[in-house]
Amino acid sequence: MDKLSIAGPTRLAGTIRASGAKNAALPILAATLLAEEPVVLHNLPRVRDIRTMDRLLCHLGASSELRDDGALVVRGSADGNPDDAPYELVKTMRASALVLGPLLARRGHARVSLPGGCAIGVRPIDQHLAGLEALGATIELEHGYVTASARALHGARFRFAMPTVGGTENLMMAASLARGTTVLENCAREPEIVDLARLLNAMGARLAGAGEETIVIEGVERLGGCEHTVIADRIEVGTYLIGAAITGGDVTVEQCNPADLAPLLAKLSEIGASVEVAAADATTGRGGRIRVAAGGGLRASDVSTAPHPGFPTDLQAQYLALMTQAEGVAAVCETVFENRFQHVPELLRMGADVRCEGPCAYVHGPTPLSGSHVMATDLRASACLVLAALVAEGETVVDRIYHLDRGYENMELKLQKLGAHVRRIHS
Ligand code: EPZ
């Protein structure tokens, strides 16, 4: 298993470009199963989860081809190999559950392994299944698999028990080919949901309200091909901006959308970092720029994660690392997942002063961190440890960075470009 060796302390400075959003690309790839013609996708991030989803689509009978310009051309298929997303694939990536809606809508049946838990929580898919039943699907759970079938899906009104990103995405895709109108209430509002809606509408679907609490979908007979550019990864961008703040550096990220990071940018300004933005193009959401600079002396400030437009849970671990270097005590509270503080024990080993109580971690800062051997447990916890390593005195070795490779494209190259002393140890 590869490791990252990071020599600290370092001050990050310079300009990098955002990669495409993993969490937009995954549902968008699943949506290609709905199309009767090829779909051309630009700006897909070259990360492990995208390769896993591509493998799953091909297992399901689709075909994909990487063009010289970096675009991926995907040809869905109305039938083909076993309509199942096997446990071997799903256990490595929960987002495999996103093929349920498209398979059901396009082929009338699907068999997908239940994702099982993961490091950050149980993460059930009961809302996905309840929504598909509302559209007329018969759902059976047996031997760790969901088997879903429907002669024809019909429109329905369905209210999610909580805003669920994957649940909203699965239902948007299934309802696109259902007969009649579907009204989804209490939807997730993340920018990745809006990007999926853009793709589906470009394929000929008729969705309105993506990004709001209520989404209305007029079902259509068929969906065609299209060309689409995936939005920038706001979580990747936020990670590097926090890197600028924690190292007292000065980092600019280009080709991103500042509007997608409003809660983080407000928080960085509040704690004393300087934040400059250049807005993205209003229609495409692309071409924006964000610069964060900090000269030390940051102030602690509480944060509570929440579904968009609240502070993203996917930046909680990174922000917690930042608070170890801020003056005062910060309560970092996690309201979305039940077990998303796995990074804390590793930070304690580096010298951080953090006390967990229920849904909150209380971080006392600033505390000097020392380079240590630490272990990544999940994607964003890995990013947190890398950020801590950048300010720690001496060498830090982060183990199990396959977690990192799931969602960060060329992280060590981008960090080296910003002046970090980081190298990958292959093993
Ligand atoms: C998506 O996961 C993201 N993954 C996650 O990013 C992100 O943390 C999460 O949304 C929240 O923003 C992708 O988009 C591929 P949810 P998802 O359904 O869809 C509960 C990363 O680091 N819930 O919005 O699985 C669930 O347990 C990853 O990139 C149910 O109870 O998240 C959780 O507590 C990690 N029943 C909450 O809702 C359901 O049927 C939010 O989950 C569905 C969800």
pLDDT tier for residue 257 given thresholds of 50, 70 and 90: very high
* Residue 398 pLDDT: 96
Flag whether pLDDT at 1 surpasses 90: no
If you measure from the C-alpha of residue 351 to the centroid of ligand 1, how many angstroms do you get, rounded to a whole number? 31
Find the mean pLDDT for residues 357-378. Answer: 96
If you measure from the C-alpha of residue 164 to the centroid of ligand 1, how many angstroms do you get, rounded to a whole number? 6
Instruction: Of 117-121, 240-244, 303-307, 364-368, give the lowest mean pLDDT range.
Output: 117-121
Q: Is 337 in the pocket of ligand 1 (CB under 6 A)?
A: yes
Flag whether pLDDT at 117 surpasses 80: no
Ligand 1: which of 162, 231, 406 to mutate, judged by most atoms within 8 Å of the beta carbon? 162
Flag whether pLDDT at 378 surpasses 70: yes
Instruction: Of 28-32, 44-48, 77-81, 406-410, give the lowest mean pLDDT range.
Output: 77-81
Ligand 1: which of 28, 165, 194, 311 to mutate, judged by most atoms within 8 Å of the beta carbon? 165
pLDDT tens digits, 217-242: 999 999 999 999 999 999 999 999 99
pLDDT above 90 covers a percentage of the chain that reads 88
pLDDT tier for residue 89 given thresholds of 50, 70 and 90: confident
Reduce the secondary structure of the chain to three states and give it as a string.
Answer: CCEEEEEECCCCEEEEECCECHHHHHHHHHHHHHECCCEEEECCCCCHHHHHHHHHHHHCCCEEEECCCCCEEEECCCCCCCCEECHHHHCCCHHHHHHHHHHHHHHCEEEEECCCCECCECCCCHHHHHHHHHCCCEEEEECCEEEEECCCCECCEEECCCCCHHHHHHHHHHHCCCECEEEEECCCCCHHHHHHHHHHHHCCCEEECECECCEEEECCCCECCEEEECCECHHHHHHHHHHHHHCCCEEEEEEECHHHHHHHHHHHHHCCCEEEEECCCCCCCCCEEEEEECCCCCECCCEEECCCCCECHHHHHHHHHHHCCCEEEEEEECCCCCCCCCHHHHHHHCCCEEEEECCEEEEEECCCCECCEEECCCHHHHHHHHHHHHHCEEEEEEECCHHHHCCCCCHHHHHHHCCCEEEEECC
Q: What is the pTM of this model?
A: 0.97
Flag whether pLDDT at 199 surpasses 70: yes
Residue whose token pair is 């209210």: 159
pLDDT tier for residue 356 given thresholds of 50, 70 and 90: very high
Q: Is 82 in the pocket of ligand 1 (CB under 6 A)?
A: no
* Residue 82 pLDDT: 63
Rg (CA), the chain: 21
pLDDT tier for residue 204 given thresholds of 50, 70 and 90: very high
Return the residue whose CA atom lies nearest to atom 39 of ligand 1: 125
Q: Is 117 in the pocket of ligand 1 (CB under 6 A)?
A: no
Flag whether pLDDT at 168 surpasses 80: yes
Is residue 144 within 8 Å of residue 88, measured between CB atoms?
Answer: no
Return the residue whose CA atom lies nearest to atom 44 of ligand 1: 164
Q: Is 325 in the pocket of ligand 1 (CB under 6 A)?
A: no
Q: CA 83 to CA 149: how far, in whole Å?
A: 11
Q: Is 121 in the pocket of ligand 1 (CB under 6 A)?
A: yes
* Residue 288 pLDDT: 97
pLDDT tens digits, 345-355: 999 999 999 99
Of ligand 1's listed atoms, the one at least distance from the Cα of 190 is: 12
Q: Is 126 in the pocket of ligand 1 (CB under 6 A)?
A: yes
pLDDT tier for residue 143 given thresholds of 50, 70 and 90: confident
| Single-letter code of the amino acid located at 293 | A
Of ligand 1's listed atoms, the one at least distance from the Cα of 166 is: 19
Residue whose token pair is 């947190």: 384
* Residue 86 pLDDT: 81
Q: Is 125 in the pocket of ligand 1 (CB under 6 A)?
A: yes
Q: Is 171 in the pocket of ligand 1 (CB under 6 A)?
A: no
pLDDT tier for residue 296 given thresholds of 50, 70 and 90: confident
Of ligand 1's listed atoms, the one at least distance from the Cα of 406 is: 29
Find the mean pLDDT for residues 26-53. Answer: 96
| Single-letter code of the amino acid located at 215 | I
Flag whether pLDDT at 78 surpasses 80: no
* HSE-CB of 205 using CA atoms within 13 angstroms: 31
* Residue 362 pLDDT: 98
Find the mean pLDDT for residues 242-271. Answer: 98
* Residue 331 pLDDT: 98
If you measure from the C-alpha of residue 328 to the centroid of ligand 1, how many angstroms do you get, rounded to a whole number? 31
If you measure from the C-alpha of residue 58 to the centroid of ligand 1, how many angstroms do you get, rounded to a whole number? 25
Flag whether pLDDT at 83 surpasses 70: no
Active centre residues (catalytic): 118
Flag whether pLDDT at 81 surpasses 80: no
Q: Is 187 in the pocket of ligand 1 (CB under 6 A)?
A: no
Find the mean pLDDT for residues 33-53. Answer: 96
* Residue 123 pLDDT: 78
User: Which residue from 23, 31, 20 is spatially nearest to 57, judged by alpha carbons?
Assistant: 31
Is residue 131 within 8 Å of residue 151, measured between CB atoms?
Answer: no
